Each structure stands twice: as structure tokens, then as C-alpha cells.
Amino acid sequence: MNITKHILARKECYLPLVIPREDGKNIPTYITIHETSLGLEKQPAYKDAAYYIDLLEHPKGDPRYGYHFLCSDTQVWQFLPTWVRTAHSGSTEGNSSVGIERLVNVNIDFDKAIRNQARLTASIMSMYDIPINHVVPHKYWSGKECPARLLAGLYDWNWDRFISTVQDYYQQMDFFMDID
């Protein structure tokens, strides 16, 4: 599977560096795991990738809103280079992490989408030498219940199983190779 590149032109979501560098690039030291929708109710089919891509291009709230990747069961999209800071965590430090969303709706195979998210996480750990204990849920930064289903232990998944799946991909060096 190749990553579908859909790099955002909106400059509002390119946040300044906390510690300025000459090259203007952030070196991420954390990866933050998200899930679309914070509640546990069923997500309708219209909340698909196109819906979330439109929200990224035309955010309804904070104009700095962004994240780097979206995973579904069959596709992975990249919206920002991994060295860009963007507002996805509710905290300054969290916004220096790479943000990976996962699509949830009635048409998405939860298991396959989680595996894509885990493989992508392992790939970014390898790129930036990020340790497994720096792979954190959105909740870690802001207390927001995200990724809600994973934290609630639905569909035979939970946070520990996700982390051990990331480690499996990492050890097998089964990575996405086309990450910016």
C-alpha cells in the first residue's frame, strides 16, 4: 500500500516551532494516536475520508487545526510533512508530535484500520528514533477521551494490544517507505 499524499495548502495549520531552528523543521519525539469521533455511538457512513479531508481544508473551529495522517482499512493519507507542528492535541508539547487519525464509521473494518495505524506508527518510530513509550493516546496530552474506542477496549482491541502490534511491525521492519 502506498500513502496517498494530500498536502494541505492552508498555512494557518503550520504552527511555529517551540524552539526555533534555522531550517524551520520540527523533530518529532512523540506520536499521538487519534480516532475520528470522541463518543462511542455508531458513526454514519457519510463521515468518510472525504468528510474529514473537507474539515481539514475548511476547519469549523480553530484555524490552526490539523493532523499529519489519516488511516482507514484500505488507505493511508498524508496531509502535512512529519516535521510540521500542527494543532491536534490540545497542548503545546503535544502539537510537536506526529498526529495520526484513524477513520471510524459503519463501513470501516476496525481491525484493518487499526493495523494500518499501528504499521504507520512503527514506520515513524523508525524514521525519528522514537521509543515505544513515546507513542501516546490523545488523552495523554489533554485528557480528552481519544482514541475513544481503543481506550474503551471495544472490538477485541485495547491500548496494550495496539502497542504490542506496533512493536511487532517495528521488529519485523514492516514499514511504509513513502513518508515525508
* 76, 116 contact by CB (below 8 A): yes
Our CB check for Zn ion shows the closer of 108 and 146 to be 146
CB of 151 to Zn ion, least distance (A): 11
Query: What does the CA dihedral 8, 9, 11, 16 come to, rounded to 10 degrees?
Result: 50
What sign does the CA torsion over 29, 93, 83, 115 have? Answer: positive
Positions 86 through 125 that interact with Zn ion (CB under 5 A): none
Contact segment (CB under 5 A) with Zn ion among 3-11, 46-54, 60-68, 143-151 equals: 143-151
Nine-digit cell at 167? 512493536
CB of 18 to Zn ion, least distance (A): 20
Our CB check for Zn ion shows the closer of 32 and 123 to be 32
With CB under 5 A as the contact rule, the residue among 84, 104, 146, 179 that binds Zn ion is 146
Strand-pair category, 3-5 with 76-78: parallel
Residues contributing to the site for Zn ion (CB under 5 A): 34, 138, 146
